[in-house]
Each structure stands twice: as C-alpha cells, then as structure tokens.
Amino acid sequence: MATIRQRGDSYQIRVSCGYDTNGKQVEQSMTWKPDKKMTAKQIEKELNRQTVMFEEACMNGHIVATMKFEDFAHKWFEEYAELKMKPQTIRGYRSLEPRIYKAIGHLRMDKITPRHIQKFINDLHKDKCQNSQGKAGKTLSTKTIKLHISLVSCIFEYAIKMQMLQNNPCRNVTFPASDKKEVEIYTLDEVRQLMKLFDTEADYNFKYVVFFKLALYTGFRRGELLGLEWKDFDWERGIVSVKRTSQWTKEKGIYTDTPKTKTSFRSLKMPDIVIDLLKQYKEWQDNYKASLGTKWIETDRLFTQAEGKPMDPASPYKYYEEFCKRTGMRFVSPHKFRHLNASMLISQGVDVKTVQSCLGHTSPTTTLSIYTHAFQEVQAIATNAIAEAINF
C-alpha cells in the first residue's frame, strides 16, 4: 500500500517492497511535482496514476536503485566484469574510474539524469590529460570520452537487467565532434628502407626482426604475435592460425588468454618469403635451445625471453624504440604496423570483407570506420580509370 505526503508544491510517494534477506522492510520512494497550470482535480487524477504506476513497478521487481553510483559500480565490477570480461578490458575500465566517480559517484542511481551525463561529457571535453611530469597536456580525445560513457552505460544496463532501474540516462546524449586523424604510417619507400635495416640486424636481434616482419606481413595484433606457438603453423599449406594471445597485467604478470573476439580466431595464408624466414628462425631457435640445454624452459612460443619463457609484451616496443634511435629510422608506434598492413591490402584492391577477415575485426563496419580514407583513395583511382577509359 502506498502512502502519499505533500511537501510544499510536490508529493512524495512511498511504497513498501517487502523485506530483504535480513528481515528488514524495504521501502522505495519517488517525488512527483505537478505542473503549475494543472487544476486541483487534474493533480488528484495524475497523482493517483503516478502512484499506481510506481506500485506496479515495485511489484514487478522494478525497484528504484537508491545506491550511490560508485557503490553500485563496485558491485558491477565484482558481480559482472570480473566474471565476464578479459583482464585487459577490466584494467582499462579501472583506469576510467577516478574521473567517473568524481563526477557522478556521489549521486544516487535513480537521481542521475541525462543532464548529469551530458554535463560529464562536456566537462571531459574540457579536461586535459596529465603528462609524465604531472602537468596538464592535451585535451581528452572523443574516443576516450566515449570510453568513459560506455563504462557508465554498461553499469546502468546491468542495473536495468537486475530490475533496479527502468531507464539508462546515457542514451541520447551528444558527444563532441570526432577528432579522428589520419593514421600515421610508413610510406612504401620507408618500408623498403626498414627491411634493409632489419637485414643488418638479423645476426644479433633475429627474434625481433622476425617479430616485426611478421607483424608487417600478417597485420596481427601484438598479443596475437606473442601468443604464436610453432604448432600453429601448417608448413605444407603455408597457413598460420591465431588461437591465443599473450598479455600482461600488474596483478597477473604475463599470462595466456583467448583472442580478443570470436572473429579474432583466424587463419592466414603466408607468402613464401615469410615461410622461408620462419623456417630460418625455427632453426636458429632450435640451435639456441640446444646451447642452453636443461636451462631452457619449453613453451613452444616463437617469441621468448632468454630462458624460453613467453616474451614480455613491452619488449618489442622497447627494442623498436631503441632500434629507431640507433639507425635514424623515423619512429612509428609498432601498433601502426597493423595499420600499414591493412592500408597495403586496400591499396592492392583487396575488398573490405577480406581485409576484415585478415585483421580479425568483428564486422566490415569496424574496418570501414578505421580505414575510410584508404578505401576512398582506392575508389578515386578506380573512378579515374573509368574516366580515362571512356575518354581515351
């Protein structure tokens, strides 16, 4: 049974929702404020309607969440994220908590409105990242802002699923204009220069040379390359399969995980030049293992530490940074090798579906959104070819 209490020009509706596991009565309340233009009779009618709706919501389990957002977020991490998500994803979400809790962590779940979320977005747009010296640097990117709101939205969706709320305030908010920039990658001439420099490295940094050449030819993610094992290669057919990734977190150290998505499980046909390179590397690794004898720790991994354990995910980046300083090669983040691979595929006329499959993207839409500029360039070339053919 609901109780109604008038407070000034508004009404508080309180409903009993039964008892919790400790035998304590659970009550939920809402406040309704009538329009100033409504007559007394209209107010009475609408108040009764609001009361009935609120009672039905409570009876059907749609109990208003009175918990503060930060408290419920901790429950979401414990009850959902830790059970359903990959450690790397959770680690990324954890890094977003401080800004979110500062903005809305103190607010009750049922009191957070789209206006609160929109203000949070606008404030994030004005916020600035801190550099290594702790000073304010560049403003947050649109992608980073969307990641914050994505986490907030996930938490609200969980509350809805648990029948604690009916609406997600993150819906229908407006984000700042995208600040997407063209991905900076090597030119074809720079790639050729890089290959020549790698050839001079082969005698003393062979495993890193193989790592980066394989990154260029396959477009595999760093974790996918580090997770490769020799049994993943079909030498007769020249095929390599992605079946696992190698990751790192502060809590777990280096660990093996499944690929990012279902479509990340994939197989790729390798060119003969890559097969020959890998066979040379296999022979080199076998000779190195023999020289260590019983000190070698067998993991079947291609890329390892000195004693055979899986390579630290930070090692390729550190090596490549030092390599560029030493050789004078323009430094481009190792992750851009994946973009370079995709761009070269597109420039050779490979269709979007095939590029998606090679990269392990969930859908062609993802591939198109990332490589729109590259596909547009190919389209322009094709259109010019038609014009030249007609006007020959």
Give the pLDDT confidence of 31-65 residue by residue, as tens digits. 899 998 999 999 999 999 988 888 877 766 545 56
Output the DSSP codes for 44-86.
HHHHHHHHHHHHHHHHTT-----SBHHHHHHHHIIIIIHHHS-
How many residues would you count in the chain? 392
Segment among 44-58, 93-107, 134-148, 204-218 with least mean pLDDT:
134-148
Place of tokens 């009191």: 111
Segment among 90-104, 161-175, 231-245 with least mean pLDDT:
161-175
Q: How far apart are CA 41 and CA 24, in angstroms?
A: 37
Structural domains of the chain sorted by starting position, each given as residue range(s) with its CATH number in brackets: 2-59 (no CATH), 69-161 (1.10.150), 188-376 (1.10.443.10)
With beta carbons less than 8 A apart as the criterion, state whether 159 and 72 touch: yes
3-state secondary structure of 129: strand
pLDDT in the model for residue 165: 79
Closest Cα to residue 308, out of 292, 296, 293, 295?
296
With beta carbons less than 8 A apart as the criterion, state whether 145 and 129 touch: no
pLDDT in the model for residue 22: 47
Give the pLDDT confidence of 179-226 residue by residue, as tens digits. 656 567 888 899 999 999 999 988 889 999 999 999 999 999 999 999
Give the pLDDT confidence of 244-286 residue by residue, as tens digits. 999 998 888 999 999 988 889 999 999 999 999 999 999 999 9
To the nearest whole number, what is the mean pLDDT of the chain?
85
User: Which pLDDT band, with edges at 50, 70 and 90, does 163 fall under?
Assistant: confident
Judged against a pLDDT cut of 70, whether residue 375 lies above it is answered with no
Q: Give 319 or 176, the one with higher predicted confidence.
A: 319
With beta carbons less than 8 A apart as the criterion, state whether 136 and 104 touch: no
pTM of the model: 0.68
Closest Cα to residue 71, out of 104, 94, 30?
104
Judged against a pLDDT cut of 50, whether residue 132 lies above it is answered with no
